[in-house]
Structure 1
Amino acid sequence: MPLRPNDKRPAGHSEQLCPQTGRCTGGHLKPEQRATTDTELITAAWTQQPYNIGIATGPSGLLVIDLDMLKPSEPEGTPDGAASLQALCERAGQTLPATYQVRTPSGGQHLYFTPPPGVRLGNTANRLGHHIDTRGWGGYVVAPASTTPEGSYSLCDDRPPATRTGSAKPSRSHRGLSARLRRRSPRQRSDTRLLRCGVRCPTWPRQGTAPATPCCCGPRGLWGG
Structure 2
Amino acid sequence: MTAIRVLHVDDEPDIREVVELSLALDPDFTVRSCASGREAVAMAAEWAPDVILLDVMMPVMDGPATLAQLRQNAATADFPVVFMTARTQARETDRFRSLGAVGVIAKPFDPMTLAALLRTYARPSHDPLEQLRTEFLRRVERDAEHLLEYRKRLDVEGRSPALLEQIRSTSHALAGAGGIYGFAQLSDVAADLEDVVTAEIGGAAPGAGTDRALDALIVAMEQCRCPAPLDARSLKRA
Tell me the TM-score normalized by structure 1. 0.21
Q: Which has the larger radius of gyration?
A: 2
Tell me the TM-score normalized by structure 2. 0.20
Higher helix share: 2
